[in-house]
Amino acid sequence: GQNIDQPTEMTATEGAIVQINCTYQTSGFNGLFWYQQHAGEAPTFLSYNVLDGLEEKGRFSSFLSRSKGYSYLLLKELQMKDSASYLCAAMDSNYQLIWGAGTKLIIKP
Amino acid sequence: GAVVSQHPSWVICKSGTSVKIECRSLDFQATTMFWYRQFPKQSLMLMATSNEGSKATYEQGVEKDKFLINHASLTLSTLTVTSAHPEDSSFYICSARAGREAGEQFFGPGTRLTVL
Protein backbone atom coordinates (compact mmCIF):
# COMPACT_ATOMS: atom_id res chain seq x y z
CA GLY A 1 0.00 0.00 0.00
CA GLN A 2 0.91 3.65 -0.15
CA ASN A 3 2.02 5.34 3.03
CA ILE A 4 3.56 8.54 4.33
CA ASP A 5 5.08 8.77 7.80
CA GLN A 6 6.03 11.93 9.63
CA PRO A 7 6.17 12.82 13.31
CA THR A 8 2.94 14.03 14.85
CA GLU A 9 4.40 16.94 16.78
CA MET A 10 7.71 18.69 17.32
CA THR A 11 8.78 21.55 19.58
CA ALA A 12 11.61 23.97 18.92
CA THR A 13 12.93 27.27 20.22
CA GLU A 14 12.73 30.60 18.43
CA GLY A 15 15.93 31.25 16.50
CA ALA A 16 16.92 27.59 16.41
CA ILE A 17 16.91 25.01 13.59
CA VAL A 18 14.46 22.13 13.24
CA GLN A 19 14.35 19.19 10.84
CA ILE A 20 11.06 17.47 10.05
CA ASN A 21 11.47 14.02 8.56
CA CYS A 22 9.18 12.19 6.17
CA THR A 23 9.36 8.66 4.80
CA TYR A 24 7.18 7.49 1.97
CA GLN A 25 6.09 4.37 0.13
CA THR A 26 4.22 4.91 -3.09
CA SER A 27 3.35 3.13 -6.31
CA GLY A 28 5.76 4.95 -8.53
CA PHE A 29 7.14 8.36 -7.66
CA ASN A 30 6.82 11.74 -9.30
CA GLY A 31 8.10 14.03 -6.60
CA LEU A 32 7.80 15.04 -2.97
CA PHE A 33 6.02 18.15 -1.74
CA TRP A 34 6.08 20.07 1.50
CA TYR A 35 3.21 22.34 2.47
CA GLN A 36 2.69 24.61 5.46
CA GLN A 37 -0.75 24.87 7.03
CA HIS A 38 -1.69 27.31 9.76
CA ALA A 39 -4.68 26.42 11.90
CA GLY A 40 -7.96 27.09 10.13
CA GLU A 41 -6.27 27.90 6.84
CA ALA A 42 -5.56 26.02 3.63
CA PRO A 43 -2.09 24.61 2.91
CA THR A 44 0.50 26.76 1.17
CA PHE A 45 3.24 25.35 -1.01
CA LEU A 46 6.78 25.30 0.37
CA SER A 47 8.87 23.02 -1.81
CA TYR A 48 9.01 20.31 -4.43
CA ASN A 49 11.81 17.76 -4.87
CA VAL A 50 11.99 15.15 -7.59
CA LEU A 51 15.77 14.68 -7.81
CA ASP A 52 18.02 13.59 -4.98
CA GLY A 53 19.63 16.35 -3.01
CA LEU A 54 19.00 19.53 -1.13
CA GLU A 55 16.90 22.43 -2.39
CA GLU A 56 17.39 25.65 -0.48
CA LYS A 57 14.86 28.44 -0.45
CA GLY A 58 15.60 31.16 2.08
CA ARG A 59 15.18 29.88 5.64
CA PHE A 60 13.61 26.67 4.40
CA SER A 61 15.40 23.76 2.72
CA SER A 62 14.11 20.40 1.57
CA PHE A 63 16.07 17.22 0.99
CA LEU A 64 15.19 14.08 -0.93
CA SER A 65 16.69 10.60 -1.14
CA ARG A 66 14.71 8.52 -3.62
CA SER A 67 16.60 5.32 -2.87
CA LYS A 68 15.69 5.60 0.81
CA GLY A 69 12.17 6.92 0.32
CA TYR A 70 13.09 9.77 2.62
CA SER A 71 12.77 13.52 2.75
CA TYR A 72 13.22 16.22 5.30
CA LEU A 73 12.26 19.85 5.66
CA LEU A 74 14.81 22.02 7.41
CA LEU A 75 13.73 25.29 8.96
CA LYS A 76 16.41 27.73 10.09
CA GLU A 77 16.26 30.84 12.27
CA LEU A 78 12.86 29.82 13.53
CA GLN A 79 10.28 32.53 14.05
CA MET A 80 7.09 32.39 16.07
CA LYS A 81 5.09 32.62 12.83
CA ASP A 82 6.58 29.28 11.77
CA SER A 83 4.28 27.58 14.27
CA ALA A 84 2.07 25.53 11.98
CA SER A 85 1.50 22.05 10.64
CA TYR A 86 3.88 20.85 7.95
CA LEU A 87 2.47 18.38 5.47
CA CYS A 88 4.58 15.96 3.46
CA ALA A 89 3.01 14.62 0.27
CA ALA A 90 4.40 12.22 -2.33
CA MET A 91 3.12 12.08 -5.89
CA ASP A 92 2.58 8.57 -7.20
CA SER A 93 2.70 7.17 -10.71
CA ASN A 94 -0.83 8.47 -11.39
CA TYR A 95 0.26 11.99 -10.41
CA GLN A 96 -1.91 11.73 -7.31
CA LEU A 97 -0.69 13.25 -4.06
CA ILE A 98 -0.48 10.90 -1.09
CA TRP A 99 -0.62 13.02 2.05
CA GLY A 100 1.02 12.52 5.40
CA ALA A 101 -0.92 13.33 8.55
CA GLY A 102 1.18 16.44 9.12
CA THR A 103 3.68 17.48 11.77
CA LYS A 104 2.54 20.14 14.20
CA LEU A 105 5.49 22.40 14.93
CA ILE A 106 5.37 24.38 18.16
CA ILE A 107 7.82 27.26 18.52
CA LYS A 108 8.65 28.46 22.02
CA PRO A 109 10.22 31.83 22.82
CA GLY B 1 1.89 32.67 -7.85
CA ALA B 2 -1.37 31.22 -9.06
CA VAL B 3 -4.49 32.16 -7.13
CA VAL B 4 -7.43 29.93 -6.32
CA SER B 5 -10.54 31.32 -4.68
CA GLN B 6 -13.32 29.55 -2.87
CA HIS B 7 -16.79 30.74 -2.05
CA PRO B 8 -18.28 30.86 0.48
CA SER B 9 -15.59 31.01 3.17
CA TRP B 10 -17.98 29.60 5.71
CA VAL B 11 -21.55 28.44 5.72
CA ILE B 12 -24.02 27.31 8.34
CA CYS B 13 -27.02 25.34 7.18
CA LYS B 14 -29.83 23.21 8.53
CA SER B 15 -29.75 19.45 8.31
CA GLY B 16 -31.29 18.20 5.09
CA THR B 17 -30.42 21.20 2.96
CA SER B 18 -27.89 21.30 0.11
CA VAL B 19 -24.86 23.52 -0.01
CA LYS B 20 -22.83 24.49 -3.07
CA ILE B 21 -19.16 25.48 -2.82
CA GLU B 22 -17.38 27.15 -5.72
CA CYS B 23 -13.71 26.88 -6.54
CA ARG B 24 -12.17 29.20 -9.12
CA SER B 25 -8.69 29.50 -10.58
CA LEU B 26 -8.25 33.22 -11.06
CA ASP B 27 -5.15 33.58 -13.21
CA PHE B 28 -4.59 30.21 -14.81
CA GLN B 29 -6.54 27.43 -16.48
CA ALA B 30 -7.02 24.47 -14.19
CA THR B 31 -7.21 21.25 -16.15
CA THR B 32 -7.46 19.31 -12.91
CA MET B 33 -9.15 20.28 -9.66
CA PHE B 34 -9.19 18.40 -6.39
CA TRP B 35 -11.62 18.47 -3.50
CA TYR B 36 -10.41 17.69 0.00
CA ARG B 37 -12.06 17.43 3.37
CA GLN B 38 -10.25 18.03 6.62
CA PHE B 39 -11.57 17.29 10.08
CA PRO B 40 -10.05 19.08 13.09
CA LYS B 41 -6.47 18.04 13.85
CA GLN B 42 -6.45 15.60 10.96
CA SER B 43 -4.73 15.65 7.62
CA LEU B 44 -6.26 16.36 4.25
CA MET B 45 -8.49 13.66 2.88
CA LEU B 46 -8.90 13.63 -0.89
CA MET B 47 -12.54 13.28 -1.83
CA ALA B 48 -12.40 13.46 -5.61
CA THR B 49 -10.40 14.51 -8.61
CA SER B 50 -12.05 16.26 -11.50
CA ASN B 51 -10.73 16.97 -14.95
CA GLU B 52 -12.42 19.64 -17.02
CA GLY B 53 -15.15 18.25 -19.20
CA SER B 54 -15.22 14.78 -17.69
CA LYS B 55 -16.81 13.10 -14.70
CA ALA B 56 -15.08 13.33 -11.36
CA THR B 57 -13.18 10.37 -9.96
CA TYR B 58 -14.21 9.74 -6.38
CA GLU B 59 -12.06 8.19 -3.69
CA GLN B 60 -13.19 5.02 -2.03
CA GLY B 61 -15.80 5.66 0.62
CA VAL B 62 -16.94 9.01 -0.80
CA GLU B 63 -20.55 8.95 -1.98
CA LYS B 64 -20.74 10.49 -5.42
CA ASP B 65 -24.49 11.02 -5.15
CA LYS B 66 -24.03 12.98 -1.95
CA PHE B 67 -21.04 15.04 -3.03
CA LEU B 68 -21.77 16.27 -6.53
CA ILE B 69 -18.82 17.71 -8.41
CA ASN B 70 -19.05 19.71 -11.59
CA HIS B 71 -15.95 20.93 -13.43
CA ALA B 72 -17.71 22.78 -16.20
CA SER B 73 -14.90 25.06 -17.28
CA LEU B 74 -11.17 25.44 -16.99
CA THR B 75 -11.58 27.96 -14.19
CA LEU B 76 -14.52 26.70 -12.18
CA SER B 77 -15.39 23.60 -10.22
CA THR B 78 -18.29 23.22 -7.81
CA LEU B 79 -18.93 20.82 -4.97
CA THR B 80 -22.52 20.38 -3.82
CA VAL B 81 -23.14 18.66 -0.52
CA THR B 82 -26.64 17.28 -0.88
CA SER B 83 -28.95 16.64 2.07
CA ALA B 84 -26.26 17.72 4.48
CA HIS B 85 -26.10 16.22 7.96
CA PRO B 86 -24.11 17.26 11.04
CA GLU B 87 -21.45 14.64 10.30
CA ASP B 88 -20.74 16.50 7.03
CA SER B 89 -19.53 19.49 9.03
CA SER B 90 -15.92 19.95 8.05
CA PHE B 91 -13.36 22.14 6.34
CA TYR B 92 -13.63 21.66 2.58
CA ILE B 93 -10.63 22.71 0.50
CA CYS B 94 -10.20 22.73 -3.24
CA SER B 95 -6.98 22.81 -5.17
CA ALA B 96 -6.18 23.29 -8.81
CA ARG B 97 -3.42 22.16 -11.10
CA ALA B 98 -2.61 23.58 -14.50
CA GLY B 99 -2.07 20.21 -16.16
CA ARG B 100 -3.07 16.59 -15.61
CA GLU B 101 0.51 15.77 -14.81
CA ALA B 102 1.88 19.10 -13.65
CA GLY B 103 3.39 19.30 -10.21
CA GLU B 104 2.18 21.90 -7.86
CA GLN B 105 -1.37 22.14 -6.60
CA PHE B 106 -2.62 25.58 -5.68
CA PHE B 107 -5.05 25.58 -2.81
CA GLY B 108 -8.11 27.68 -2.26
CA PRO B 109 -8.63 29.24 1.18
CA GLY B 110 -11.16 26.59 2.20
CA THR B 111 -14.82 26.57 3.18
CA ARG B 112 -15.90 25.79 6.71
CA LEU B 113 -19.27 24.01 6.66
CA THR B 114 -21.34 23.67 9.80
CA VAL B 115 -24.55 21.65 9.59
CA LEU B 116 -26.93 22.17 12.46
Averaged confidence pLDDT in chain A: 94
- Type of residue numbered A84: A
Asked if A87 contacts A102 with a C-beta cutoff of 8 angstroms, the reply is yes
What does the pLDDT look like over B7-23, one tens digit per residue?
Answer: 999 999 999 999 999 99
What does the pLDDT look like over A53-93, one tens digit per residue?
Answer: 999 999 999 999 999 999 999 999 999 999 999 999 999 88
Q: Is the pLDDT of residue A6 over 90?
A: yes
User: pLDDT band at A5, cuts 50/70/90?
Assistant: very high
Question: What pLDDT score does B1 carry?
Answer: 66
User: What is the rounded distance in angstroms from the CA atom of residue B111 to the CA atom of residue B7?
Assistant: 7
Question: What pLDDT score does A22 carry?
Answer: 98
Q: Is B49 on the interface with A (CB under 8 A)?
A: yes
| Of residues B45, B93, B104, nearest to A42 (C-beta) | B93
Tens-digit pLDDT profile for chain B (116 aa)? 688 999 999 999 999 999 999 999 998 888 889 999 998 878 889 999 988 878 899 999 999 999 999 988 889 999 999 999 999 999 999 999 886 665 678 899 999 999 99
User: pLDDT band at A96, cuts 50/70/90?
Assistant: confident
Collect all residues of chain B within an 8 Å Cβ-Cβ radius of residue A94: none
Per-window interface: A 32-61 vs B, CB < 8 A:
33, 35, 40-45, 48, 50
Nearest-CA distance from B48 to chain A in Å?
11
Q: Environment class of residue A50 by beta-carbon count within 10 Å: exposed (0-12), middle (13-18) or buried (19+)?
A: middle
Interface-testing mutation among B21, B25, B41, B43, with chain A (most A C-beta atoms within 10 A): B43
Asked if A47 contacts A20 with a C-beta cutoff of 8 angstroms, the reply is no
**CB-CB under 8 Å, B1 with A41:** no
Could you tell me which chain B residue has the CA closest to the CA of A41?
B109
Collect all residues of chain B within an 8 Å Cβ-Cβ radius of residue A2: none
Going from the C-alpha of B114 to that of each of A104, B9, B88, B109, the distances in angstroms are: 25, 11, 8, 16
Nearest-CA distance from B52 to chain A in Å?
16
Nearest-CA distance from A76 to chain B in Å?
24
Q: Is A102 on the interface with B (CB under 8 A)?
A: yes
Question: What pLDDT score does B105 carry?
Answer: 84
Neighbours of B60 (CB within 10 A): 4
